[in-house]
Amino acid sequence: MGLFHFLRSEKKRRAAAEKAAAAASEDYAAAYTDAVAATRRAATREAAERIAAAAPPKHAPAAPKAATAPPGLARGAHPPHTPTPSSAAHKAVPAAPTPKPEAAVMRRTYTVRSGDSLLAIARQELGNEARWRELYAMNRSVIGSNPELIHPGQVLILPG
């Protein structure tokens, strides 16, 4: 056997070894992918079972009632809902408290005099001239679109 035949046989051995390694790698990848998919399916199934076990039991739908209305209720009208501890009505956000009449009386006001500006009023009445924007925002309907133009006699509401 010559050198040429030896090199060619060595090349064939390497090719065969690489082909076997590639086949083994493909087999491993397929087995790994299958195992991952099976694990995911099992985990999903277990999660669904846990959720189903934690959920409250489902009740069968009630049979439709006869179309007779209680006395005082028009046919087709629904009776008023009475909240129960399991309904969401008791979890509703309470309504905002209604303002008391005393709150309107206790509001501070300022009557504009000649030479006044919102800056000067904020400095004198609120203690901080930077609050003139707050003063303007509260009295925009009285002052108008130009905060620099205020007239003597205008009554401004002072912020708290």
pLDDT digits (tens, 9 = 90+) for 34-83: 877 888 888 888 877 877 777 776 666 666 655 555 566 566 666 666 66
Average model confidence (pLDDT) across the chain:
78
Q: What's the pLDDT at 11?
A: 80
Q: Where are the alpha helices (DSSP H) in the chain?
A: 3-54, 101-105, 118-121, 132-138, 140-143
Tokens standing for 92? Answer: 């509703």
Q: Are 142 and 156 a contacting pair, CB within 8 Å?
A: yes
What per-residue confidence (pLDDT) applies to 8? 75
Q: For residue range 76-122, list pLDDT tens digits in order.
A: 666 666 666 666 555 555 666 666 665 555 789 999 999 999 999 99
Contacts of 97 (CB under 8 A, 6+ apart): none
List the helix and strand counts (H, then E) for the chain: 5, 2
Across the range 19-44, mean pLDDT stands at 80
Q: What is the model's pLDDT at position 141?
A: 93
Question: Residue 109: what pLDDT?
Answer: 94
**Mean pLDDT for the stretch of residues 3-27:** 79
Higher-scoring residue by pLDDT: 30, 129: 129
The Cα–Cα gap between 139 and 133 comes to: 10
Q: Using alpha carbons, list the distances in angstroms from residue 144 to 25, 36, 87, 118, 127.
A: 80, 70, 48, 13, 24
- Cα separation, 116 vs 158, whole angstroms: 15
Cα separation of 49 and 59, whole Å?
Answer: 19
- Per-residue pLDDT at 28: 78
